Structure formats: structure tokens, C-alpha cells
A and B are shown apart, each in its own frame.
Chain A
Amino acid sequence: MSLLTPEPGLLFWMTISFGIVVIILVKYGFPPILKSVEKRNNYIEESLKSAREAKEELSKVKETSELILADARKEQRVILKEASRLSEQIMNEARENAVIESEKMITKARTQINADKEEALKSIRSEVTKLSVALTEKILREKLSSEKELMGMIDRLLDEIEISKS
């Protein structure tokens, strides 16, 4: 069977051509292909990893931000409570102060009024006294122009004094 006996000529050519193919492809053909595939795979893997990390980071950030927010809200509540308490206190104080002040002012005004009243009464009294003296003088001068009248007057006055004495 000639089909089963290898021909030396074809063996020779096959060795040469296959050898050249192997040398070229093993050196320049497949390594760059495999390397670039590997590079791409590494890139994809890294990208996935970094994406996952970023996601984790993001969720962490979200968590912390939520925590911060909750804290802030708590703080806010506390501050608000404090503020309302303070304002109430201030208002109460103000109210008390106002009451005290007004009372003070009222008493002051009352004493002033009393003093003024007293003074006014005093001055009125002295004025009245002066007036009455003057009036009395005038009246007396009018009435007592005659002797008779003067005598009658003195009598009446004496009577009155006597009556009031008794």
C-alpha cells in the first residue's frame, strides 16, 4: 500500500513548512493573542472588582451619611427642645419681671400720687387759709364797718366758741 508508506520528499517539505509555521506562530502568532485576551480579562476583572468596591464604598457612605443625618436630626430635636424651653423660660422671666416692674411702678406711682396729693392738699389748704384769711379780712372789713355790727359779731363768735366749748 503506497498510501501507508510516508514519502521522504513530503516528509521533508512537511517538516520544513510545519517547522516554519510553528516557529512563526509560537513566537509571533499566538502569544500576543493570548496575552491581549488575558489583558482584557484582567481589565474586566479589575473593573468588576473596582465597581464592586465602589458600590460597597457607596453603601458605606450612604450608611454613614444616614447615621450623620440621624445624629443631626437628634441634635436638632434636642436643640429645638432646648430652645423652646429657653424661650419659655425667658418669656416667664420677662413676664415675672414685667409683673414685678409694673408692681414697682404702680407702687411708686401710688406713693408719688399720695405725696402729690398730700402736697396739693397742703398747698390747697394754705391757699384756702390765705384766701379765707383774706376773705375774712375783706368780709370783716365790710361787716365790721359799723360798731354795732362789730359788737354783734363778737358776741356771736363768743357764743359759738362757748357752745363749741361746752
Chain B
Amino acid sequence: MRYKFNYILLLVIMFYASSLNIGAANSVIDHPAPEKAVVEEELNVKELILGHLADSYEWHVWSNGEKHITISLPVILHSKSSGWHFFSSSKFNHGNSIYKGFQIASKGEYNGKIVELDGEGNEIRPLDLSMTKNAAALIINSIILIAIILAVARVMKRDPLKSNKGFTGLMEMVILMIEDEVIKPTVGKDYKRYSPFLLTVFFFIFINNLIGLIPFFPGGANVTGNIAVTMVLAIATFIVVNFTGSKAYYKEIFWPDVPTWLKVPFPLMPIIEVVGIFTKPFALMIRLFANIMAGHAIVLGLTCLVFITVSLGPAINSSMTALSVVFSVFINFVELLVAFIQAYVFTLLSAVFVGLARDDHSEDNKKVAESSVT
């Protein structure tokens, strides 16, 4: 009965997410409206998709013709010439105004970013700590995650011997699955030290992936498809792996168990091993970023199919619209799967790296690492 309920819940979430996407398709129709007003028939699909994938200084919620409903976010800047600045992003008037010598570049190297013009008209990038759309989404998602986990923890702490039902039961099931299937077999004997961190990583990625799939405020931000976000996650794993590494792990790096000529006159193997330390988290960073960004790009591209085919006549346009909706629903299902799989893979590989750094390089750990990296 309990599992049935969880299944139903999952299905409802899936349908909800995909139906929201259809709703979002309509909102995207409205979004390029101002551009259309200027250039009537041209729709720059590439720019639209890249614009949605990238970060922005304001959170666009809804547009109705010329009217935009956006949430202005704080801009925090430090310029070498004029010091700290703190103001609302509404001062830029959607990128059309210059405020205090700052403006949002519309082309060039810093396209879409705040730049400062120096005396000769060159664009200079100030230190930009603005709370952008992704940063705001990150904070919202973090609060949601903390609230969920602390609520579950409170329920479970109140009566540890009760078997939980409903949402707590679902969360417990997922937590135990990650703990028992991923962390325990890969990290090894002192897995309990690492499981809170690895579980945090899993749920952080998972919830950001899921909320990123919801196409309107407060979702829709391409958080885990942003390289800065995945970079911090990868660095966290890097720190955990290397700062808790065992002696055997470091010996394996600087004095590996290979013929001496591979390490004495020229330290070939140590160099490869040291590079390996950095390529592991780098692969984590790129994998998560590319998967999530690609998912968002596909959904956006399918949605754009509706507008590209406008010029081809109503028959083709309507059939392509139907096709676009069908494909979007399908891709959203796939993306739900990807949201879970990527969080799972990131956690699994982090656990494997931790296990490799903790263990005395036992054979089965190596096997796990090799099979999961592929």
C-alpha cells in the first residue's frame, strides 16, 4: 500500500512537471515578443536558447506583449575605480539603461554581463557578486532542501521505531537506497563518516535538478547546468577526497607500485597520478553540467519548434506544435530520469573516489571505480 502511494505520488509529480512545461511553452511564446516587435519575422533560436541557459540579473516571470513581469534581484559590484556598488537590477531597465556607469553588455566577450566603460570606451568587467537568477534559485532551493531534510529528521527523531508513511517514508526510502546501495559498498568500512556529506551532495543536486525542470518561478533556473555550480560541487568532493586521504592513497600517488624507471629519473607515474587527482573532479564537474544543460537546451529547442515553423504555414505549424508538445512531454520524462541519474552518478563517483582515497586500494574498489567511470 505504501509503495503504491509512493508510485502514485511520483506519477503525479511527473505529470505535474510535464504539464507545467506545456504551460511554459506558452510563456516562452510571449517572451520573444519585444524582439518580434522590432524584427517581425526573425527569431534567433540560438540566442533565445543560450539566453535561457545562461544566468541573468533579473528573474523573468511572465510577459504579456510589451509588459514584463520580472523579479528584480540585487546587484553587488566592486569596481576598481569607484569601489562597492549595491543596487537593484531594475535600474538597468531590462538592459536598456546605463546606471552609475554600469551597463549590461549586449555583445562581445561579456555579452549579457555587467560591464563598466572606461575612458577609452573599453568594456571592463567589475568584480560581480550580484545575486543573479541562478544565485537566487540556489538560495531558494537550498532553503527548500534544508526544510525538507530537517522536517524528515524531526519526524524520525521523534519516534525512531515507527515505520514512516507518506513523504517521510519516501525520503527515508531514497536516503536508505543511497546509503545502502551507493555509499556503503563503495566507501568501505568507515562509510558512516562520509554518508552525511555524500547524501547532502545527492539531495542538493537532485532537488536543484528537479526544481530546474519546473518551467516558471521559482523553478526553471538552469542551476545545476551552470559550470560554476558544478565546479563548487566538484571542489567540495575534491577537498573531501584529498583532505581525508589515507597514507596509502598518497603513497600510491607519489610513489606508486610500478617499476622504478617509471618514477626515478623522470617522475612519469607520479605526474600521471597527480593529474588524475584533478581530472576526477573535473570529470564530475563537466558531466553534471553538460547533462543538465543539454536537457534544458533540448526542451527549449523543442519548444522553439513552434515558433520556427510559424513561417511555414498554419498546417505545418499546427502539426509541428503538436509534435513539439509530445516531444517536450517525452523529454521531460527523460529529464526526470536524468535528474535522478546525474545526482546518483555524482554521488556514486564521489563515494568511489572517497573509497579509493580511504582504502588500502583493495581490488574490488578498483573494479567498482573502473566500471562506474565508464
Docked-complex contact B160 and A34, CB < 8 angstroms: no
Docked-complex contact B152 and A3, CB < 8 angstroms: no
Docked-complex contact A13 and B149, CB < 8 angstroms: no
Q: A14-B135, A18-B142 are in contact. Are A6 and B227 (CB under 8 A)?
A: yes
Docked-complex contact B175 and A29, CB < 8 angstroms: no
Docked-complex contact B160 and A39, CB < 8 angstroms: yes
Q: B129 within 8 Å of A by Cβ?
A: yes
C-alpha gap A57/B231 in the complex (Å)? 60
CB-CB under 8 A from B130, the residues of chain A are 9
* Interface bin, chain A: 35 or more
Docked-complex contact A33 and B156, CB < 8 angstroms: yes
Q: B233 within 8 Å of A by Cβ?
A: yes
CB-CB under 8 A from A35, the residues of chain B are 160
Q: B356 within 8 Å of A by Cβ?
A: no
Q: A152 within 8 Å of B by Cβ?
A: no
Docked-complex contact A17 and B142, CB < 8 angstroms: yes
Which stretch from B12-20, B50-58, B93-101, B365-373 is at the chain A interface?
A: B50-58
CB-CB under 8 A from A125, the residues of chain B are none
Docked-complex contact B127 and A8, CB < 8 angstroms: yes
C-alpha gap A18/B76 in the complex (Å)? 20
Closest chain-A Cβ to B271's Cβ sits at a distance in Å of: 26
Minimum CB distance partner of B110 in chain A: A2
Minimum CB distance partner of B128 in chain A: A9
Which stretch from B28-36, B189-197, B250-258 is at the chain A interface?
A: B189-197
Docked-complex contact A43 and B199, CB < 8 angstroms: no
Closest chain-B Cβ to A57's Cβ sits at a distance in Å of: 24
Q: A10-B132, A37-B172 are in contact. Are A29 and B196 (CB under 8 A)?
A: yes
C-alpha gap A5/B111 in the complex (Å)? 13
Minimum CB distance partner of A23 in chain B: B200
Q: B161 within 8 Å of A by Cβ?
A: yes
Q: B11 within 8 Å of A by Cβ?
A: no
Q: Mark B218-237, 1 if CB is under 8 A from A, else 0.
A: 00000000111101110010
C-alpha gap A56/B231 in the complex (Å)? 58
Interface residues of A in 7-44 (CB under 8 A from B): 7-15, 17-18, 20-22, 24-26, 28-37, 39-40, 43
Docked-complex contact B197 and A3, CB < 8 angstroms: no
C-alpha gap A11/B311 in the complex (Å)? 42
CB-CB under 8 A from B127, the residues of chain A are 8
- A contacts, CB < 8 Å to B: 2-15, 17-18, 20-22, 24-26, 28-37, 39-40, 43
